[in-house]
Structure 1
Amino acid sequence: MKKLFGQYAGLRREMYIIFFGRVVTNMGALIWPMLTLILKSKMGLSASDSANLLLLLGVLQLPCTMIGGKLADRFSKRSIIIVCDLVTVGCYLACSMLPISPLFVALFFVAGIFAQMEWPSYDALVADMSSSADRERAYSLNYLGANLGLVLAPTLGGLLFAQHLNLAFLINAVSTFSSTVLIFFFIRNTRPTQDASPVSRYEAGQQGSTWQVLRRSKVLWLFLLCSAVGEAVYSQFNFLLPLNMEQLYGQQGAVWFGMLTSVNATVVILCTPLLTARFCRLCDTSKLLAGEALIALGFAFYIFVQGFIPLYFAAMVVFTLGEIFITLGRQPYLTRRIPASHRGRLTSITLVGGMLCQGLALKVVGLLADRASPPLVWALVVAVAAAVAAGYALLRRADRRAFPLLYK
Structure 2
Amino acid sequence: MIKEYINLPRPLYVIIFAFMINSFGNFVRPFLTFLLTDKYGFSKDYTGFIVSLVTFIIVPGSLIGGRLVDTLGRKRIMIIFHLISALCLIICAFIEKPRLIIYLLLASSLSLSIASPGFNSMITDISKEELRKTAFSLSYLGVNFGFALGSMIAGFLYKNYTKLLFLGNAITTIIAMILIYFFVEETLPKKEDIKMLKLSPKESYEEGSTLQALIKRPVLLAFGFIYIVFSLVYNQCAFALPIHLNQLFNSEGAKLYGMVMALNAFTVVIFTPFINSFTERYPSLFCVGIAGMLFAFGFGLNFFARVPWMFFISTFIWTLGEIIDAVNNRAFIAENSPVSHRGRFNSVMQIIMGSGYTLSPYIAGKFLRNNSVETIWVYTFYLALLGSFMMFALNYYYCKGKLIKVEGEEV
Please state which band the TM-score falls in when normalised by the shorter chain. over 0.9
Matches within 5 A, 1:274-353: 274-305=274-305, 307-353=306-352
Q: Equivalent residue for 1:75?
A: 72
Distance 1:328 1:61 in 2: 21
In the TM superposition, residue 357 of structure 1 has moved relative to its aligned partner by 2.3
Q: Equivalent residue for 1:28?
A: 25
Q: Equivalent residue for 1:238?
A: 238
| Number of aligned positions between the proteins | 400
Distance 2:134 2:379 in 1: 34
Matches within 5 A, 1:54-203: 54-192=51-189, 196=198, 200-203=200-203
Q: Equivalent residue for 2:248?
A: 248
Secondary structure of 1:56's counterpart equals helix
Which of 140-149 and 56-65 deviates more? 56-65
Give the conservation status (yes or no) of the 8 Å contact 2:216–2:404.
no
In the TM superposition, residue 340 of structure 1 has moved relative to its aligned partner by 1.3
Distance 1:63 1:112 in 2: 11
Give the conservation status (yes or no) of the 8 Å contact 1:131–1:195.
no
Q: Equivalent residue for 1:366?
A: 365
Distance 1:185 1:359 in 2: 35
Give the conservation status (yes or no) of the 8 Å contact 1:43–1:100.
no
When residues 87 and 240 of structure 1 are mapped into structure 2, their CA distance, relative to the original with a 3 A threshold, is same
Give the conservation status (yes or no) of the 8 Å contact 1:95–1:104.
yes
Distance 2:218 2:279 in 1: 27
What per-residue deviation string (whole Å, max 9, x for no partner) do you get for residues 107-145 of structure 1?
122111111221111111111111111110110111111
When residues 79 and 189 of structure 1 are mapped into structure 2, their CA distance, relative to the original with a 3 A threshold, is closer
Q: Equivalent residue for 1:6?
A: 3
Taking structure 1 as the reference length, what is the TM-score of the superposition?
0.94
Distance 1:43 1:189 in 2: 42
What per-residue deviation string (whole Å, max 9, x for no partner) do you get for residues 27-63 of structure 1?
2111111001111111111211101112222333311
Give the conservation status (yes or no) of the 8 Å contact 2:288–2:325.
yes
Give the conservation status (yes or no) of the 8 Å contact 2:244–2:374.
no
Distance 2:186 2:122 in 1: 11
In the TM superposition, residue 376 of structure 1 has moved relative to its aligned partner by 1.4
What per-residue deviation string (whole Å, max 9, x for no partner) do you get for residues 82-124 of structure 1?
0011101111111121225211221122111111221111111
Distance 2:212 2:63 in 1: 16
In the TM superposition, residue 398 of structure 1 has moved relative to its aligned partner by 1.7
Distance 1:392 1:240 in 2: 25
Give the conservation status (yes or no) of the 8 Å contact 2:217–2:405.
no
Residue 253 of structure 2 aligns with an amino acid whose one-letter code is: G
Secondary structure of 2:130's counterpart equals coil
Distance 2:311 2:338 in 1: 42
Matches within 5 A, 1:359-398: 359-398=358-397
In the TM superposition, residue 203 of structure 1 has moved relative to its aligned partner by 0.5
In the TM superposition, residue 176 of structure 1 has moved relative to its aligned partner by 0.7
Distance 2:202 2:62 in 1: 25
In the TM superposition, residue 195 of structure 1 has moved relative to its aligned partner by 5.1
Distance 1:279 1:103 in 2: 46
Give the conservation status (yes or no) of the 8 Å contact 1:148–1:269.
yes
Give the conservation status (yes or no) of the 8 Å contact 1:242–1:253.
yes
Residue 286 of structure 1 aligns with an amino acid whose one-letter code is: F
In the TM superposition, residue 338 of structure 1 has moved relative to its aligned partner by 2.0
Give the conservation status (yes or no) of the 8 Å contact 1:27–1:153.
yes
Taking structure 2 as the reference length, what is the TM-score of the superposition?
0.93
Residue 392 of structure 2 aligns with an amino acid whose one-letter code is: A
What per-residue deviation string (whole Å, max 9, x for no partner) do you get for residues 272-292 of structure 1?
111111222111111111111
Give the conservation status (yes or no) of the 8 Å contact 1:245–1:256.
yes
Distance 1:288 1:59 in 2: 24
Give the conservation status (yes or no) of the 8 Å contact 1:287–1:328.
no
Residue 35 of structure 2 aligns with an amino acid whose one-letter code is: I
In the TM superposition, residue 19 of structure 1 has moved relative to its aligned partner by 1.1
In the TM superposition, residue 375 of structure 1 has moved relative to its aligned partner by 2.5
In the TM superposition, residue 327 of structure 1 has moved relative to its aligned partner by 0.8
In the TM superposition, residue 184 of structure 1 has moved relative to its aligned partner by 0.2
Which of 309-318 and 182-191 deviates more? 182-191
Q: Say what the alpha-carbon RMSD is for the aligned residues.
A: 1.8
Distance 1:95 1:141 in 2: 32
In the TM superposition, residue 191 of structure 1 has moved relative to its aligned partner by 4.7
Structure 2 spans left out of the alignment, 5+ residues: none
Q: Equivalent residue for 2:355?
A: 356
Give the conservation status (yes or no) of the 8 Å contact 2:299–2:318.
yes
Residue 383 of structure 1 aligns with an amino acid whose one-letter code is: Y
What per-residue deviation string (whole Å, max 9, x for no partner) do you get for residues 323-366 of structure 1?
00001110110111121111111111111123322222222211
Give the conservation status (yes or no) of the 8 Å contact 1:95–1:107.
yes
Distance 1:205 1:232 in 2: 34
Give the conservation status (yes or no) of the 8 Å contact 2:231–2:355.
no
Give the conservation status (yes or no) of the 8 Å contact 1:42–1:100.
no
Distance 1:13 1:309 in 2: 42
Residue 165 of structure 1 aligns with an amino acid whose one-letter code is: T
Q: Equivalent residue for 1:39?
A: 36
